[in-house]
Amino acid sequence: MRRLFSHPSLAIGLIATLSFLAIGVLSLVWTPFPIEQINIPRRFLGITPEHWLGTDNLGRDMASLVMSGTWTSFLVAAIAVIIGMGVGVPLGLAAAAWGGPVEWLVLRLSDFIFAFPAIIVAILITALVGPGASNAIVAIGIFNIPVFARVARGGALSVATLDFVAAGRLAGLGNAMIAWRHLLPNIMSLLIVQGTIQMSLGILSEAGLSYIGLGTQPPATSLGLMLKDAQGLFLIHPWLTLVPGMAIVLIVIALNIAGDGLRDALDPRLRQENPNVLA
């Protein structure tokens, strides 16, 4: 706990991120108004005591939409990170532990996937099975795989040369056990930091995919979809664009600050440069 507060950026980033997450989770059980409730006479209200962020072009409560959209963003980005970690980390560890042809194969596979940005993968998936939030998850998840594979391999390679790994090998552990027992726990901090960064990239990608119509579909909502709906109205009702836009910016900043803070707090090399720790 004390370590947390010795890194103010970590504290700020985490608190902001967790607040947004809490707002998102809250939308599952409660929003000020149901998001699918359309009330045309009450559209474009602006800020009122009843509607904290005003109402949109269909008279829906903007605050409720932002809450629900925040949840969609977190959900999509988090599942995409889990997909990326679940596939990418074992691949990266295998590359580091076995080396040789396995390593070559993993690296070439990563290069290959890297060549496709999330948006191209999303277009491909949409062409095959149609648009939807689940397809955005898969597209962003695939994009995350090589990122985690590379981070895991890089981290594991530097750990693999250490004496305790050699000791484990002498004790008769196979490559798989070495990777699981010795390499993985030692690269965990790297993965957590990368996971935070990928979360913020995932939220941006989800907003981008929804904005071009490949992600979340109405009547469900997401921050990108809100931007898309408000785009044609920008010159008359800029507020409708400003609200989801600001929400995206704030969430991404919060995640990035948290990611930076986590790296400072967890990276042993940086920690040694920190006079507080030395003292």
Partner 1 sequence: MNTITKAIGLALALSTALAGVAMAQSTEVRIGVALEPPTLDPTAGAAEAIDIVVYQNIFEGLTRIDEAGAVQPGLAESWTISDDGLTYTFKLHDGVTFHDGSTFDAEDVKFSFDRILAEDSVNAHKEFYEPISSVTVVDPLTVEMKLDRQIGRFLFDLGRGDAVIVAPESADNNANQPIGTGPFAFLQWDKGSRVILEAYQPYWGEPVHLTKATYVFISDTATLTNALLAGDIDGTNNFGQEALGVFEGNPQFTILAGTTEGETILGTNNRKAPFDNLKVRQAMAHALDRQAIIDGATYGYGTPIGSAFAPHNAYYVDLTGTYPHDVAKAKALLAEAGYPDGFSATLKLPPLAYASLSGQIIASQFAEVGIKLELINVEFAQWLEDVYTNKDFDLTIISHVEPFDIGNYANPDYYFGYDNPEFQALIETLNGTTDEAKRKELAIQAQTILADDAVNGYLFQLPQTGVWNAKLTGMWKDSPIEGLVLRDIRWAE
Binding site for partner 1 (CB under 8 A): 36-38, 40-41, 43, 57-59, 130-131, 213, 217-219, 231-236
Q: Which is nearer to partner 1, 42 or 271 (CB)?
A: 42
The structure tokens listed for 108 are 């070439």
Distance CA 119, CA 262 (A): 29
Q: Would you say 59 or 168 has its CB closer to partner 1?
A: 59
d(CA 213, CA 220): 13
| CA 23 – CA 249 distance, rounded (Å) | 16
**Does residue 68 contact residue 221 with C-beta atoms inside 8 Å?**
yes
Nearest approach in angstroms of CB 209 to partner 1 is 14
CA-closest candidate to residue 205, choices 219, 191, 221, 224: 224
Q: How far is the CB of 114 from partner 1 (least distance, A)?
A: 29
Minimum separation from the CB atom of position 220 to partner 1 (A): 9
Relative orientation angle of helices 62-98 and 133-160, to the nearest 10 degrees? 40
Residue 40: CB minimum distance to partner 1, A: 4
Of 36 and 111, the one with the shorter C-beta distance to partner 1 is 36
CB 43 within 8 A of CB 236: no
Q: Which of 264, 269, 270 is nearest to 13 (CA)?
A: 264
Residue (154 or 245) nearer to partner 1, CB: 245
Nearer to partner 1, 178 or 225 (CB): 225
* Shortest distance, position 32 Cβ to partner 1, whole Å: 17
